[in-house]
Structures are given as structure tokens and as C-alpha cells.
Amino acid sequence: MRLTNRDWNALGLSALLIAVVCCLPFLTQGYWLSIGVTIAMYAVLATSWALFSGPTHYISLATAAFFGVGTYTVGYGIEVLPYWTLLPIAGVLGAVLAALAGLATLRLSGVYFVIFTLGLAEFIRQIITWVQNLTGQRGIYVLTSITESHIYWQLVGLAALVFLTGWLIGRSRLGFALRIIGDDEEVARHSGIHTARAKVLLFMVPGAAAAIAGAILAPRYVYIEPMLAFTPMLSFQVVIMALLGGTGRLWGPLVGVIPFTIIWEAISASFPNQTTLLLGVSFLVIVYLLPRGFVGLIEDTRHRGREAQA
């Protein structure tokens, strides 16, 4: 692969940004670090979500399922294996699960996929509780010495990895194929692109990323039970943040994650009794006022700027 000067510049700038972002734990340890963890987590989840859903237009609500699988990988594995080996294992499990789910439903139309993925988290949760019940096992404790800073750095690293993957996909044959699928699936099929395979392959990316994110965050939760690990809210929040940012660009979701997390914090800090209500309202605002997300807004502004000059 040939890299142009512009590519090198972009890569260098990204590396610098990541290095800066990594300094946060040295500046603050308390509240802002925990916000940092939240932002890094949603950055991973929303960006990887958009990698798949952006070009294919399939809305995946399976984030919670993958995330929970990762959390449980650590929950079950921590007693047997060293922590570091569990992250790749979680990633592989997430990717395999995504591949299976993708094979079953990605040939179908979009709505079925939405429902299927929403049910997936519930399904896995039920199976896990059923197995736990059979074996008489209780909630799992993950008692480790991993601190908030460690979790933050791991998440930032994972986010960097997701961005790199997205960037590479964009330059690859797969990325090219996906752009055609996104424009018109019929055309893609006629030009000899194996559409189902391309989609399944791509779906494995958010699967793996969300599972690893779940694994990284498991030590933060200490006590893992199905209801907490597979919370469906997570799936919806990821969708909202990604759409707020815009899925057309690799950096789009990030532009949604940061303001959303901060606004959300402000809302829950100032109106703790109306959080649900206000979350709903912010959904509506996004849909009606920012249909293409911040990316769309930014591009429109630029466009207008250019027109004004001309």
C-alpha cells in the first residue's frame, strides 16, 4: 500500500492526538477521569458501530450483547487465565458471535436485523442466567488491582486500534466494495461483489471491538451479573451518539460522543429527576434538527462558506 504525504500527515497528527489524550490521568484522577473513561468507551463503541452501520445502513442493536460477552469472558476467565490473555479471547468471541448473527440475518432486510440484534442481548442474557442457575453459580466477582487509569489507557488504545482498522478498511478492496453496496446493493451484486460476505466480515469489527471494551471495563464493575452486563440501554446510546456525530466520516461518531457525554452529564447533574425525560427530548432534537449529525452540519457550513466566496 502506498502512503501519500497527506496520509503520513494524518497518521502523525492522530498519533500526536492520542499521545495528548493519554496524558489525562496525570492531570486529574477523579471525576474528569471517569468522564474520560466514559468518553473513551463510547468512542470505541460508536466508531466501530458506524464502521458497519454507516456504509450498510443496517442499525445494529447488538452492542450490549457483544459488550456483555466480553464482560463475562473476564468474569469467568479471571480466575483461570492472566488478564491480558482475556482481551484477545473476548475479541475473538465477539467476532465469532457477530459472524454467526450476521450469517443468520444479514441477507434479510433492515428491520429484521434491528429486531434480531435487539433480541440477541436478551437471548444471551437468558442463556447465561439459565446456565448459572443449573450450576448454582452466583454473581461473579472480579476483584483486581486494575485502576481507573489503566482502564482509561486500554480504552484509548482500543479506540486507536478501531480508528486504524477503519482507516485501513477505507483504503482496502473491502472498503471499496462497501461503498458500492451502500450506494446500491443491486448494482454491487451485479458487479460481482459478494455482498453478504462483505457485510458479515464488516460486522465482525464492532463485534470484536465491543467485546474487548466489555472485557476492559469488567474490573471496573467488580460484581458482574447479567442484568448489569447486558443492559439494553447501552445499544441505544451508542446508536444515538454515532448518529449525532454522523456516520459518513470515520471521525464522525467521535464528534457525537464527546458533546453527548458531556451534555448527558450536565443533564443528570442538574435535573436528576428528569434524566429519562430529557434524554428523550435530546433524541427528538437530534432527529429533527440534526438529521445528518454534526458531520452534516459541518459540511453544510463549509459548503455555504465556499458558495459565499464564489
**Among the listed residues 167, 170, 283, 297, the single contact to another protein using CB under 8 A:** 283
Nearest to 213 by CA among 36, 77, 38: 38
State how far the Cα of 55 lies from the Cα of 95, in Å rounded to an integer. 19
Interaction residues for another protein, span 4-23 (CB under 8 A): none
Interaction residues for another protein, span 132-151 (CB under 8 A): 132-133, 136-139, 141, 143
Segment lying near another protein (by CB under 8 A), choices 15-23, 81-89, 269-277, 302-310: 269-277
Residue 21: exposure state from Cβ atoms within 10 A (0-12, 13-18, ≥19): middle
Interaction residues for another protein, span 198-257 (CB under 8 A): 217, 220-223, 225-228, 231-233, 236, 239-240, 243
CB of 184: closest distance to another protein in angstroms? 12
Total residues contacting another protein (rule CB under 8 A)? 76
| CB distance 251 to 50 below 8 Å | no
Cell of 118: 435487539
Interaction residues for another protein, span 49-68 (CB under 8 A): 57, 59
**Among the listed residues 288, 306, 308, 310, the single contact to another protein using CB under 8 A:** 288
Cell of 58: 443496517
Per-residue contact string for residues 20-39; x = within reach of another protein by CB under 8 A: ----------xxx-xx--x-
C-alpha to C-alpha distances, 107 to 33, 103, 112, 284, nearest whole angstrom: 42, 8, 10, 31
State how far the Cα of 68 lies from the Cα of 181, in Å rounded to an integer. 30
CB of 221: closest distance to another protein in angstroms? 5
Interaction residues for another protein, span 95-124 (CB under 8 A): 104-105, 107-112, 114-116, 118-119, 122-123
Nearest to 63 by CA among 86, 94, 37, 39: 94
CB of 278: closest distance to another protein in angstroms? 7
Q: Measure CA of the first residue to CA of the last residue in the chain; give whole Å.
A: 37
| Paired strand residues for 223 | 141
